Homo-oligomer: A and B are copies of this chain.
Amino acid sequence: MLSDRKRKILKAVVDDYIESAEPVSSKNICDKYLTDCSPATVRNELSALESMGYLVQPHVSAGRIPSQKAFRMYVDELMTVKPLSNEEIEVIDKYFQQRAGNVEELVMNVAKIISDITNYTSVVVKNKGEEEYIRRVTVVELNEKSALVVIVTDNSVLKDSIIDLPIDLDENGIKTANNWLNRVFCGKKVSEISNIDVIMSDISIDFALYRELYKKIVEILKKCNKGGQEITTSGSSKILDYPEYNDIDKAKDFLTKLETKSDLMEIFDTSKGDFEMVIKIGQEQNNMPEGCSMVSAKINVKDKMVGSAGVIGPIRMDYKKIVSVLEHIGQLIDKMLSDQ
């Protein structure tokens, strides 16, 4: 357990480093954070903190920078969450007042506002909700050969799954098929439709015609079951505002990972554990871009998780601000969508 003064000093180092991106010196700490003791004293403490693994020194005549372990300690125990300014709250609220009619736009707006307010790259994940109930299945004929399947669930709409039509279905056939499909699918959970055969046995001989159609819809639902998330980023160029990413190779690494959906999904997969706020620091997370951390908050609507929203940026990012931004936005979304 760290002494009280060590904790104060460690917090000072992290706070200062987050702000300045420069190694923090003993004098600096005395001037700005601990005016009641001398630099020499602080140096002794710093030296101790270093040997405990909380600090590192780039070279002997430089100040200290916090290690990954220090940031972990900082977010877990030391930092004091910074409430949003009235101005910031106003800006955010304004964004949400121009309520967007469709979900995609809402997701984009949320991503944009988070990135604008925090000045980090934001990442919003929208669950496709395998735990949702199917409300309606509609097959819309596009031409003789193909059709569009629209599946409506409680919270979302899956469209744009184009399927080939069995040849022997004319317009009337589709109408009947639609009726039948709705009887079969409606009220079931998306996740329930995992095994074709279970329900397949329910199908009476009369409807053998639709067997083909049925199979295809199940496939779509399965697909949605697997890759059940959509991921959106905003403000990816924000990373270049931070001096540690003025190195082209690091910037490239960051941007490339951001574009690789699979990497990004892995980083923002917060399914393990059920915390409202997840913070992953540096190499704690596999495939994290070099020198980065992420913060992600669950988005709940009526107590059901519909996705998550967060940011990714340099390890020394402003956690205390980000946390309150994400909390506030989470609440707003819940309020907004619960009302509907």
Contact = CB atoms under 8 A, between A and B. Distances in A.
A145 B234 CA distance: 31
Given A104-B160, A150-B159, A159-B160, A140 B142 contact: no
Interface residues of A, number: 37
Interface stretch (A32-40, A89-97, A199-207, A252-260): A252-260
A81 interface: no
Nearest to A237: B255
Nearest to A160: B102
B145 A140 contact: no
A135 interface: yes
Contacts of A286: none
Contact of A152 (B135, B145, B148): B148
- Each complex incorporates copies of this chain amounting to 2
A142 to B, nearest CB: 7
Contacts of A146: 340
A152 B140 contact: yes
Contacts of A256: 237
A163 interface: yes
A187 to B, nearest CB: 14
Interface string A132-143: 000110101111
A176 interface: no
A48 interface: no
A148 B142 CA distance: 18
Q: Which among A157, A159, A258 has the highest number of chain B CB atoms within 10 Å? A: A159
**Which one of A241, A255, A256 has the greatest number of beta carbons of chain B within 10 Å?**
A255
A173 to B, nearest CB: 16
B259 A340 contact: no
Contact of A136 (B102, B140, B340): B140
A248 B255 contact: no
A256 B119 CA distance: 13
Contact of A103 (B101, B160, B163): B160
Contacts of A240: 248, 251-252, 255
Contacts of A159: 102, 150, 157, 159-160
Contact of A340 (B104, B140, B143, B255): B143
Interface of A: 101-104, 135-136, 138, 140-143, 145-146, 148, 150, 152, 157, 159-163, 234-237, 240-241, 246, 248, 251-252, 255-256, 258-259, 340
